[in-house]
Structure 1
């Protein structure tokens, strides 16, 4: 009697083995390999057959014997290639994986086998990219990342999750403060990692996107200065700056949403209007700057440096206390003032402070959202001032127009919200 399930399992093993063999077959012209498309398909079928026999006969040694025999062939193959000075073992390891993939199919774990095959194919086909990435990673990056991982994974759970300080300023929570440090460092690291992966040269549009994740202020300073040296490219420089600002608006919404979804929803309209205005300006500037193909953005310092994390933690704690004091003694006006002052240097600390302080009640959310919008508007004004002060005349004119549009969009969105 025909067993459809059995046929599908063996078919899956054959198909996955063929995929692995096809990828290895592409390398045959460049080097002598252990096997190609047929060999890998047969190895996967061998694994499936071994698993099937183990299930039917309850003899696990059949699978082990087949795997040991294959391993012996792999060892002989590696010894032969190593004798020729070729020390790579990728194909041999892939052959062992093909057997395991086939066995998983035989044991009815086709999903696991498929995922393993896809991951293996990605690692094989991205060889040049992964080697290039590894060459870009410096020892300092690895050390800083490991330090931060130890401190966040080991220390964070040990910190007390309770508030300290005299009422009503009892808002210092070591656990929450460090959790915010982990969040902001993670977002910064995403931008840093993208720059490391994609390299230093990009189109100006992509430069703005990456720069907005790393530091929109750094993008503003860098391209404003360059506009004095290359005034003819001012449109392209403004494009990178405005795109970086636009990404920053979206970044704030995402960052707040991780901590307080209700507040992020209240923010979405105002900052969404600013992002939409920034996108419109960017599209116009992109049309004007298409002749300029390259931009440069640097990864900067590793955002997982412990000293930088501690500085942000201290800043976050101070801003949180000041925001609570302003809220308690000065009301909403005090929070708006705190937002404006904090936004002169950084929007992350005040945004996360508001996300932690805001409650579910609508009045609290409105005040917190407006405080963050004020901080973003103040920060945008400061960066625009930098560009006007440091940039070429052509860049100044466009930046002023873009800033007016962004501020108007933010104010209008905030009032409507």
Structure 2
């Protein structure tokens, strides 16, 4: 079939789809809406035909003509229906018809999206008007501002003393913390606080386990009845950290991953079991949880988290300046204070380049993982309260001990196997 016929068929389909939805809301009698399924179908074909015959200028003229007719129809019926949805949709249908002549797949997708938005009118109005609170809308706008306005303009380069601080990366962690906290809030709204926080912690750990622990600590401090679910979410974020650690090592150097496999399996298993224990306790807890709408995130707590992390990074830079570069062990240990994955990638890169034997990769990576655990423990204490820290810290220590123990066991077993 000729491509032109297919393009016109897509344009007609867009008009029929959007027009069918508008026809249901058109009404009857003298007060009915001015455009229905026939008008929208013709408008879409007009846009496609204009694009095929005269290109962009003729499409613009056709869209302008339809816009004038839509404005006249709105002016005539504004007392019965003051909304502009049908008129705007009609002009957009013309443009989508023109787009179908050039990029039919994109036009078809946009046409379906428009039809869905029009059909979901009642649900969207009810969601915004009755489900969302005013505070939730303000939090969403704040998140959009820090993500789309502040983050792009921050310099992505080292600044400050020792060139240790990267404003863009620090603010990216602020964005991640907001996202993780917001994810936890949404999970609580959908699943309830008992099951929502652990799920949010597990998913949020793939973005930043440190940020997730800070968010969970803040949640536990604000609502003590959510202490156990918050602890479960904080510990389960380490499961995601370990899984991501294995992923980045495999992507960078499979040789560096081999000696770390026992540590990854043991640490991940301990984190999973510890988190499941607190999930069971949370689900068995009969104390009423606070279900009143709160805030998706606490801006003061988030800025405090960013300041604390910047202090940790700066302290690591000071130590490096005082004691010098004494090898990859010190570098990985210091890098781990900020991020365990960056330390692992640094070591794995050395292994892949042949500068470090694969069997020597486990120690520096585990040192970075351990110092990162220290950072998590400090933030758990600062972001949460004593009860939260008392629940999270044993889990973090058990995970680290399991990783070290499995590594030493594997090294001993492997040495015995090689000697035998």
Q: How does 1:168-207 map to 2 (within 5 A)?
A: 172=163, 177-194=166-183, 202-203=191-192, 204-207=194-197
Distance 2:3 2:341 in 1: 54
Aligned-residue RMSD, C-alpha: 5.1
CA distance in 2, matches of 1:324, 1:413: 33
Q: Normalising to structure 2: TM-score of the pair?
A: 0.66
In structure 1, the partner of 2:5 is 7
2:88: which partner in 1?
A: 93
Match of 2:45 in 1: 45
Cα distance in 2 for residues equivalent to 1:33 and 1:74: 11
Alignment correspondent of 1:411: 404
In the alignment, is the contact (CA less than 8 A) between 1:12 and 1:110 conserved in 2? Answer: yes
SS of the equivalent of 1:187 reads: helix
Conserved 8 A contact 1:270-1:414: yes
Check 1:178–1:32 CA distance in 2 against 1; reply closer, same or farther (3 A cut).
farther
Deviation at 1:94, TM superposition (A): 1.5
**Per-residue deviation, 1:75:** 0.6
Change (3 A) 1:134 1:117: farther
Q: Which moved more, 1:325-334 or 1:20-29?
A: 325-334
Q: CA deviation at 1:260?
A: 12
For the pair 1:35 / 2:35, whether they are aligned, the reply is: yes
Of 298, 315, 319 in structure 2, the residue corresponding to residue 322 of structure 1 is 319
Q: 1:76 to 1:263 in 2, by over 3 A?
A: farther
User: Which ranges of structure 1 fall in alignment gaps of 5 or more residues?
Assistant: 166-170, 231-235, 340-346
From the superposition, tell whether residues 360 and 189 of structure 1 become closer, same or farther in structure 2 (CA, over 3 Å): same
Is the CA contact 1:185–1:309 (under 8 Å) kept in the aligned structure 2?
yes
Secondary structure of the residue that 1:156 maps to in structure 2?
Answer: coil
- Measured in 2, the distance between the counterparts of 1:401 and 1:285 equals 12
Q: How many aligned positions are there?
A: 379
CA contact (8 A) 2:338 2:372 kept: no
User: For 1:156-213, what per-residue CA distance to the aligned partner results, in whole angstroms no more than 9, with x for missing partners?
Assistant: 16x5x69x98xxxxx6255xx2242133223223224435666757432322343564
Aligned mates of 1:142, 1:255 — CA distance in 2: 33
Question: Structure 1 226/64 Cα, relative in aligned 2: closer, same or farther at 3 Å?
Answer: closer
Deviation at 1:110, TM superposition (A): 0.7
With the length of structure 1 as denominator, give the TM-score of the two structures.
0.66
Matches within 5 A, 1:232-243: 238-243=228-233
Structure 2 segments unaligned to the other structure (5+ residues): 205-210, 412-420
**Correspondence for 1:19 among 8, 13, 17:** 17
1:133-170 deviation per Cα after TM superposition (whole angstroms, max 9, x unaligned): 6944566875686477655433416x5x69x98xxxxx
Structure 1 position 256, deviation (Å): 11
Contact conserved, 2:19 with 2:38, CA < 8 A, in 1? yes
- Contact map agreement 1:50 1:103 (CA 8 A) in 2: yes
C-alpha distance in structure 2 between counterparts of 1:306 and 1:377, whole Å: 21
- Residue by residue over 1:243-271, the C-alpha shift from the partner in whole angstroms, topping out at 9 and shown as x without a partner, is 33222452587599899964998588745
The yes-or-no answer on 1:208 pairing with 2:192 is: no
Partner of 1:369: 365
